[in-house]
Amino acid sequence: MSWEPIYRLVKRVPRGRVITYGAIARMLKLRGGARSVGYAMAASPSGRGIPWHRVVGANGRLLIPEPHASLQRRLLDSEGITIREGRIDLPRHSWLPRPEKKSATAAKSARKRPTRKSRGHV
């Protein structure tokens, strides 16, 4: 599977903004969902200028393990992103490839899933 689209999209994230795994997966309509994005980022080759630190989990939570977690926090803080309790004010820093005209708050409310049936037990 080619993760070029993912890398390209991540590279488009401007400084001082972040994007979530789920958002990327939805934009690119990846079968693997957010998880495949995480996989791609984990395998993201250095030297391509991929701002991996700008990719955060749902709700702006930092999911990257310790080795890079501190580095990520440092980089994000260096970009002016406020991190509280290991979390980022997503509505404030979330970025979309095409900010049509709505505010950032509407960005995360992309879609709802009313047809969610209870997964009950087996």
Partner DNA sequence: CATCTGACGACCG
Partner DNA sequence: GCGGTCGCCAGAT
Residues near DNA, by CB under 7 A: 1, 20-22, 25, 31-39, 41-42, 44, 52-53, 55, 57-58, 61, 63-65, 68, 113, 116, 118-119, 121
Question: In terms of CB distance, is 9 or 37 closer to DNA?
Answer: 37
H or E stretch at 6: helix 4-12
Beta carbon of residue 104, minimum distance to DNA (angstroms, whole number): 17
Beta bridge partners of 9: none
H or E stretch at 79: none
Question: In terms of CB distance, is 45 or 103 closer to DNA?
Answer: 45
Question: In terms of CB distance, is 47 or 65 closer to DNA?
Answer: 65
Beta carbon of residue 13, minimum distance to DNA (angstroms, whole number): 12
Task: Name the token pair of 45.
Answer: 């080759």
Beta carbon of residue 70, minimum distance to DNA (angstroms, whole number): 13
How far apart, in Å, are the Cα atoms of 14 and each of 33, 85, 104, 105? 23, 23, 15, 18
Helix 33-42 with 21-28: angle, nearest 10 deg? 110
Beta carbon of residue 99, minimum distance to DNA (angstroms, whole number): 20
Q: 48, 36, 96, 42: which is closest to 64 by C-alpha?
A: 42
Question: In terms of CB distance, is 17 or 20 closer to DNA?
Answer: 20
